[in-house]
Chains A and B, each alone.
Chain A
């Protein structure tokens, strides 16, 4: 039967469903895992905005307020003159953040280890030329551990980073909020601060245009204690191959790097030289290295006439508008002697078994013939003795049938 052809490309994701359980707790329904190629692991997440508090209507309410604020800002910035009802705005917002994935992690356990959530920037239809998205973290209480998220961006965008602090304490002292980028305090007019009963939320608008704006952004809430949350803005990671690629001396090999969801501008290959990384120059040595870039999101480095020195690590670097990222592929070079040893061992075993079986057969045949000879011999003896006794013996010689 023909072997199955591996399927390439993504199946369209089913839109997730949001259900509200009894008791007011919002629960997300996860879509069934979709088939896809390897490379980026699929996350069983659902698209729903970050959970604020369990079982509390006000938390959900404040989030909705936040979202509608964001939506109003977005709609003002992108589509002036369009009259929309509140419901339309909510739906539009949901569509624009529809590719948000949030891990269902409970953020309210104090003293826990760092929790990480991954956000993926939407790559689907844009409302305008530049995509806009809101990324939000909720912090429960002043004594919770610092929270971190990875925000993956690959092209210029307008984003809003928002932190919501929910503190059940009745202390009415003022809360100070600061935003920092890589530990430098930011002073910007694009910070908003909102305070309702028990919930403090702050939002920082950012226009990401090049790599200078990438980095770590931290919001710090300070009263008597300090609590913070960090957004790591970074370009998409490239996955290399964890396992070695094996090849032989004199053979050729193809090293592949893929970036499934995000299309880089270009790719550069490096090889390790001791502890440095040296660029692979395929134009200088065209009969040794060939780079095939048929598709923009897959790069293939073909190495010809492999020798033992090619046993090293190679890096494929994807260049995005907002930065670069590398994936590692290592090559292992073998000689033909390596698989020859098990082959010769098995061949020797075959020869030995065949010899044993033939020898056993000859031996058992000989034994059989020997036994028959003995039988015939006995019969002759018997005949002789009977003859000598004078008894007529007309027994026929037994012939084997």
Chain B
């Protein structure tokens, strides 16, 4: 008989789950972000245009985000552990097959489709498991888990370059596949946890197969007002969030700075991002303010710092603005994930996170091309960054409409068909 916890344990084995999530985010997003090293090799080996080669990572990221609900559904049914282990195996297998590729199509299928699907099975269940294991220190735990991304982006780029120099890209992909198999270890660490809310039951037992499937995918959530507003807000945030990753270096070069100065801006922003995640996690768990208010604050500050980027014409000023952007954008990330259980209840965390990932990816996919189009229309990046800031501010405005934002009373959220758990009381309840 499984041990049912009335409350998330907030510690103990939970810290091992945080460790697992740390390595998982390092191995998923660190690999994706450092793939640029292989990009040059593929262009040289296959003789293809840069545009066609960049589809490899684009397909991988798109599959990872769109297939997230599948990962969530499977986790709801079978628990996080087997799903993450299977996902880890698939992503490693995809990279392994890629090392034998003889054409670009093979790479699209093996890295883009197979590894992307594996990453989808890994990411959402891991982050959701961290949220399940913690309550009082959820944001800090999530923030700690996400620091894996920043650290691995630093370490993996030179490591991949070293592997490519020693073994050429085929051998390097083989070694990276081995590294990705460590995701299986991460999955093993996620011990199954039964919370009180899980026993609430996924609806009546006589439901049809389709009905059950839709519950697994979290589809009832689509009619959940606060959740959909939250999804809209996060999509808007996502649209503006990724623009600096793509265009900040270009903006710096447009102003006349050289390659190293421009790249250094991104490195500094990455370090600030790391600090922001940790600080925000700690701050949120102090329970001095409500998570909703904190999120609105970080989002607005990120939007303002993005809108200020066009003002940075001198290098020190641009550097300062990048630091601010990095810090605030890092700060908002763990809060986005840890506020979710407060909106939909911890029982539906898997489904909601999968849906959230899938829908926010639309913003991520559209943001950078839109910003590029603005630049082509107006001639420089001023309009792009102003638009990015505007998206973020719009997102924070939508966040204001979430329940519990401006009232001092604890309203249990309005469920429709199946009731989720009531929103847990937020500690000291300082009313703002």
Indicate if the CB atoms of A334 and B57 lie closer than 8 Å: no
Shortest beta-carbon distance, B412 to chain A, in Å?
Answer: 25
A3 on interface, CB distance cutoff 8 Å: yes
A residues near B174, Cβ cutoff 8 Å: 339-340, 343
Q: Which residue of B lies closest to A350 (CB)?
A: B181
Indicate if the CB atoms of B4 and A401 lie closer than 8 Å: yes
Indicate if the CB atoms of A4 and B249 lie closer than 8 Å: yes
Contact of B258 among A32, A347, A400 (CB under 8 A): A32
Contact of A6 among B40, B166, B172 (CB under 8 A): B40
Q: A35-B259, A343-B174, A345-B178 are in contact. List 10 more A-B contacts (CB 8 A).
A: A1-B33, A3-B50, A246-B165, A254-B47, A334-B171, A339-B167, A339-B170, A346-B179, A350-B178, A357-B188
Shortest beta-carbon distance, B252 to chain A, in Å?
Answer: 11
Indicate if the CB atoms of B258 and A35 lie closer than 8 Å: yes
B122 on interface, CB distance cutoff 8 Å: no
A338 on interface, CB distance cutoff 8 Å: yes
Bound-complex Cα distance A349 to B178 (A): 10
Q: Which residue of A lies closest to B61 (CB)?
A: A1
Indicate if the CB atoms of B189 and A2 lie closer than 8 Å: no
Shortest beta-carbon distance, B53 to chain A, in Å?
Answer: 8
Residues in B lying within 8 Å of A, measured CB to CB: 1, 3-4, 33, 35-36, 39-40, 44-45, 47, 50-51, 53-54, 57-58, 61, 165-168, 170-172, 174-175, 177-179, 181-182, 184-185, 188-189, 191, 242, 245-246, 249, 253, 256, 258-259, 368
Q: Which residue of B lies closest to A251 (CB)?
A: B170
Q: Mark A200-241, 1 if CB is under 8 A from B, else 0.
A: 000000000000000000000000000000000000000000
Indicate if the CB atoms of B185 and A2 lie closer than 8 Å: no
Indicate if the CB atoms of B167 and A35 lie closer than 8 Å: no
Contact of A254 among B35, B44, B170, B177 (CB under 8 A): B44
Q: Given A32-B256, A243-B165, A334-B171, is A1 in contact with B181 using a C-beta cutoff of 8 Å?
A: no
Chain A: interface secondary structure?
A: mixed
Contact of A347 among B33, B44, B166, B178 (CB under 8 A): B178
A residues near B61, Cβ cutoff 8 Å: 1
Q: Which residue of A lies closest to B183 (CB)?
A: A350
Q: Given A1-B242, A400-B3, is A343 in contact with B178 using a C-beta cutoff of 8 Å?
A: yes
Shortest beta-carbon distance, B23 to chain A, in Å?
Answer: 11
Contact of B253 among A35, A247, A254 (CB under 8 A): A35
Indicate if the CB atoms of B175 and A248 lie closer than 8 Å: no
Indicate if the CB atoms of A338 and B171 lie closer than 8 Å: yes
Count A-side interface residues using an 8 Å CB cutoff. Answer: 37
Contact of B188 among A248, A251, A358, A401 (CB under 8 A): A358
Q: Given A1-B245, A3-B54, A254-B47, is A334 in contact with B167 using a C-beta cutoff of 8 Å?
A: yes
Q: Given A251-B170, A339-B172, is A33 in contact with B181 using a C-beta cutoff of 8 Å?
A: no
Indicate if the CB atoms of A354 and B40 lie closer than 8 Å: no
Bound-complex Cα distance A349 to B188 (A): 14
Q: Given A4-B249, A254-B44, A347-B178, is A246 in contact with B167 using a C-beta cutoff of 8 Å?
A: yes
A361 on interface, CB distance cutoff 8 Å: yes
A23 on interface, CB distance cutoff 8 Å: no
Indicate if the CB atoms of B166 and A246 lie closer than 8 Å: yes
Bound-complex Cα distance A344 to B178 (A): 8
A342 on interface, CB distance cutoff 8 Å: yes
A residues near B258, Cβ cutoff 8 Å: 32-35
Sampled A-B contacts (7; CB under 8 Å): A2-B246, A3-B53, A246-B171, A254-B47, A334-B167, A346-B175, A358-B188
Shortest beta-carbon distance, A347 to chain B, in Å?
Answer: 6
A353 on interface, CB distance cutoff 8 Å: yes
Bound-complex Cα distance A353 to B253 (A): 46
Bound-complex Cα distance A33 to B245 (A): 24
A residues near B171, Cβ cutoff 8 Å: 246, 248, 334, 336, 338-339
Bound-complex Cα distance A345 to B177 (A): 12
Q: Which residue of A lies closest to B40 (CB)?
A: A6
Indicate if the CB atoms of B57 and A3 lie closer than 8 Å: yes
Which of A1, A5, A251 has the most chain B CB within a 10 Å cutoff? Answer: A1
Contact of B184 among A32, A254, A336, A354 (CB under 8 A): A354
Bound-complex Cα distance A353 to B168 (A): 29
A residues near B51, Cβ cutoff 8 Å: 5
Indicate if the CB atoms of A2 and B177 lie closer than 8 Å: no
Q: Mark A332-372, 1 if CB is under 8 A from B, else 0.
A: 00101011101111110110011001100100000000000
